[in-house]
Structure 1
Amino acid sequence: MHFGERIRELRESQGLLQRQLAADLEIDTPMFSKIERGERKAKREQVEQLAELLHTDKTQLLSLWLANQIFDFVKDEAFASDSLRLVIDWIKNTEK
């Protein structure tokens, strides 16, 4: 599931309107709609705010948001999978 789809799912399950969340984020409703549709990227601060507003785990939402960012960056690269495996190894070695 992509970030925007998750935001829409959470919003709808709580009976919230796009305009309500857009106002809380201090953006206009069309921009919020584009974030939900994946046509526009949310800023990290907005993701953190959304986690609070939607009463969901911030780490999970940020992870999904970051995964979406990475996917958009590498999706058209021929060696994306190989590169991502290398990055995973580097991250694991850094965490030790």
Structure 2
Amino acid sequence: MKKTFGEYIRTLRNESELTLTQLAAKLDLDSANLSKIENGIREFDDKRLEKLADVFNLDLEKLKTEFYSDFIAKKLYEVDCDNQVLLLAEEKIKYLKQKNLIQGKLKF
């Protein structure tokens, strides 16, 4: 997806013909905050991902992928990192998963 997560929410809302107020109520938000999320002024709270998935009947794991990829992209953009950081992060994730398998103790 080449949209921000807020733009993605707006698209879902419009396709479902929900108003800001209607969707905000379903997500336990006020419409002003939802508007800020859709416009990229405020971040969506990952604690509401399950509610969002339920409202639009979306796969939660795919929704998490959309959310966290947007989150990571924004953070890397803010600190002006090059793409090498993504390759290194991928290596570290593999390492942590392997370590977790061996130790059975790490939590993410």
TM-score band (shorter)? 0.7 to 0.9
Q: Does 2:36 align with 1:34? A: yes
TM-score, L = length of structure 1: 0.86
Q: Deviations over 1:29-71 (max 9, x none)?
A: 0100111112111111212211110111211111111111111
Number of aligned residue pairs: 96
- Root-mean-square deviation (Å): 1.6
Check 1:91–1:16 CA distance in 2 against 1; reply closer, same or farther (3 A cut).
same
Larger Cα-atom Rg: 2
Greater relative contact order (Cα < 8 A, sep 6+): 1
Range with greater deviation from structure 2 (43-52 or 70-79): 70-79
Identity of aligned residues (%): 31
Q: Which amino acid aligns with 2:50?
A: E
Runs of 4+ off more than 6 Å: none
CA distance in 2, matches of 1:76, 1:42: 17
What stretches of structure 1 of length at least 5 have no aligned partner?
none
2:83 match: secondary structure: helix
**8 Å contact kept, 2:6–2:44:** no
Letter of the 1:77 partner, please give it.
V
